[in-house]
Amino acid sequence: MSEFDFCPWMFADNATQDERDAQLAYQRALAGLRSAGDRSFVSPLAAIHQAELAVGADSYIAAHVYLTGEVQLGDHTSLNPYAVVRGPVRLGSGVRIGAHASLVGFNHSTDVDAPIHTQPIVAEGIVVGDDVWIGSNAIILDGVTIGEHSIIGAGAVVTKDVPAWSVMVGNPARRVRDRRDQTRTGGLTSKLADFAAQARDQAPQVLDRYRTGDTFTDQPGAAPTVRAVCDAIEIADLLLNAPPPQADRDELVGRLAALQDPATGLIPELGETGRPSLDSGSAYHVLSVGYALDLLGARLPHPVQAVRMDPSRLLAELDRLPWAQQAWSAGDWVDILATGLHWNRRLFDAQEPTETLFGWLLTRQDAFTGLWGSPSAQEGWRQPVNGYYRLTRGTFAQFGLPVPRPEQTIDTVLAHARDGRFFADGRGTACDVLDVIHPLWLCGRQTDHRRAEVQAWARDRLAATLPRWQPGAGFAFSPAPTTGAEHLPGLQGTEMWLAIVWLLADVLGESGALGYRPRGVHRPEPA
């Protein structure tokens, strides 16, 4: 026994090298510990049994914690002495669990026709958002989701979902106030809440605008596309927590599922002839259709056969991508490939090997810039930065793995964010802004490197973005004051900017004010 078992927050700063080595050895030998981030600590006095445990960086588990089942701790998250956590339980980053608190992610059935001891176990699991404090002796029951930035008072018994920013007390727990109440007037929190309320109220009208016959188009009068239908589904899920009210859920599922080519597993564009390939423009539908079906509670009907290749062929394909001149396109190809592998593993229990893909990425990343690809005189860092977003979205982010060299990446992305050709005077398409903020957000989950500069950029972008919402129409893909379809509001621009607003707000610790969280292509959690 040591002081760290009961005061584990002291480990990172006070442990000797021998104590650090002993902790690493213990973590490696601990059955059920699947991953542990840097500077994490797991007390040998904790009771960890039949567990599948993942511990983020700078997180700790104190003495006499009782832990079973599937449990995931984000970064800077702690379980204090005598806490009980029985999975499935997912804890976000910056979460504090007080001593003797209990989070039990399962329950017994209560069929009156059978004795209690024979009742089957049911499990919905518990989800705790980022920046949450759960006080000592609190109890969180199965099926509960606790919104980010909330406080659960000591001894509270939480039986229902908790909105973000809540202060909860009592048995059963009740919401006594919103943590933002003292700062709601005139601040960023109130602006975000007002924006989200406006978008939510107008969501049916926005979707009506792009409804044509029995389908959706990106803009009024445009030809129907597969992407437009998927964007409508994503927007409805974000703002209405439901399918688009203009369409029948089962009809949408049937239509999207029927588009998939059984031979390749890819989804061609409407009217596209010939067999689709990973190099075709419609290959992006592996993302958009796959996640649209997921949001509707459905799934792709066929495996994505096009992504299945032996290691030698995969290495050849990766090597032939245009990393030097068109890293954006190269990252797009990797994103589609990795997403196909993800669907095969998740939906069809396929043992898709990813070692070759991640091995190639880890050995080809530029050690000084953190990116893949090189800048050019014509576009500066635009191609590598935008390619980085697509590549890491489909691989490291989607599979829940830490990105390598986050500090170097932040340095390069911030340099690109200062490029006036793309961001001066309010410029910045949805792609350009998304492809900056997502890498900064993703790397920022692992490091505080240059956080003040990242937050300053995010604050400026939010100030420029929120007023661009057009009532009843949504967002234009590009805010630049020029002519053309991309500068008119549409479904793609609306879907992307809603996700961008969430990422910008989350970097500032304010995403809870929006009351929505992306669950599709731009989801913040691993898929």
Q: What pLDDT digit, counting tens, does each position of 36-81 carry?
A: 999 999 999 999 999 999 999 999 999 999 999 999 999 999 999 9
Tokens (6 digits) for 347: 């939906």
- Whole-angstrom Cα distance, residue 385 to residue 380? 10
Are 525 and 252 a contacting pair, CB within 8 Å? no
89-148: pLDDT as tens digits:
999 999 999 999 999 999 887 777 788 888 888 889 999 999 999 999 999 999 999 999
Task: Kindly state the average pLDDT of the residues 362-390.
Answer: 96
Q: Provide the residue count of the chain.
A: 527
Q: Record the pTM.
A: 0.67
For the chain, state the CA radius of gyration: 24
- Residue entry with tokens 């597969």: 226
CATH of domain 188-514: 1.50.10
Stretch among 115-124, 351-360, 441-450, 504-513 having the lowest mean pLDDT: 115-124
- The amino acid at residue 276 is P
List, in order, residues 6 or more apart from 20 with CB less than 8 Å away.
none
- Whole-angstrom Cα distance, residue 521 to residue 524? 9
Are 288 and 233 a contacting pair, CB within 8 Å? no
- Greater confidence, 3 or 324? 324
- Whole-angstrom Cα distance, residue 24 to residue 31? 13
- Determine phi and psi for 31, rounding to 5 degrees: -65, 135
- Residue entry with tokens 């340095």: 411
461-473: pLDDT as tens digits:
999 999 999 999 9
Strand segments, DSSP code E, in 423-474 are: none
Question: Regarding beta strands 145-146 and 133-134, do their DSSP bridges make them parallel or antiparallel, or are they unpaired?
Answer: unpaired
Per-residue confidence (pLDDT) for residue 389, from 0 to 100: 98
Tell me if the domain spanning 3-179 has CATH number 2.60.40.650: no
Q: Given CA atoms 123, 152, 172, 65 in this order, what sign does their dihedral have?
A: positive
Alpha carbon of 139 to those of 82, 83, 104, 126, 170: distances in Å? Answer: 13, 10, 8, 11, 11
Per-residue confidence (pLDDT) for residue 433, from 0 to 100: 97
Tokens (6 digits) for 416: 């690109």
Residue 183 has pLDDT above 60, yes or no: no
Residue 10 has pLDDT above 90, yes or no: no
- The amino acid at residue 69 is G
- Determine phi and psi for 418, rounding to 5 degrees: -90, 0
Task: Kindly state the average pLDDT of the residues 256-267.
Answer: 97
Please count the CA atoms within 13 angstroms of the CA of 285 that sit on its side-chain side.
Answer: 29
Q: What is the dihedral of CA 377, 383, 388, 394, to 10 degrees?
A: -170
List, in order, residues 6 or more apart from 271 with CB less than 8 Å away.
none
Per-residue confidence (pLDDT) for residue 346, from 0 to 100: 94
Please name which of 184, 200, 285 lies closest in space to residue 245, comparing C-alpha atoms: 200
Angle at 431 between CA 499 and CA 336, to 5 degrees: 85
- Determine phi and psi for 439, rounding to 5 degrees: -60, -40
Question: What's the count of helices (H) and strands (E) in the chain, helices before strands?
Answer: 16, 22
The DSSP string of 368-408 is: TTSSSS--BTTTBTHHHHHHHHHHHIIIIITTT-PPS-HHH
Q: Please, which pLDDT band fits residue 175 given cuts at 50, 70 and 90?
A: confident
200-219: pLDDT as tens digits:
999 999 999 999 988 999 99
- Whole-angstrom Cα distance, residue 476 to residue 496? 10
Classify residue 50 as left (phi > 0), alpha (psi -120 to 50) or beta.
left
Top-confidence range, 4-8, 55-59, 184-188, 451-455: 55-59
Are 141 and 159 a contacting pair, CB within 8 Å? yes
Please name which of 364, 306, 353 lies closest in space to residue 330, comparing C-alpha atoms: 364
Tell me the percentage of the chain whose pLDDT exceeds 90.
Answer: 80
Are 14 and 32 a contacting pair, CB within 8 Å? no
Task: Kindly state the average pLDDT of the residues 433-439.
Answer: 98
- Whole-angstrom Cα distance, residue 504 to residue 433? 10
Task: Kindly state the average pLDDT of the residues 330-349.
Answer: 96
List, in order, residues 6 or more apart from 461 with CB less than 8 Å away.
428, 433, 437, 500, 504
Ordered by start, the domain boundaries in the chain are: 3-179, 188-514
Per-residue confidence (pLDDT) for residue 480, from 0 to 100: 63
Per-residue confidence (pLDDT) for residue 185, from 0 to 100: 40
| End-to-end Cα, the chain, rounded Å | 39
Top-confidence range, 113-127, 153-167, 172-186: 153-167
Per-residue confidence (pLDDT) for residue 350, from 0 to 100: 86
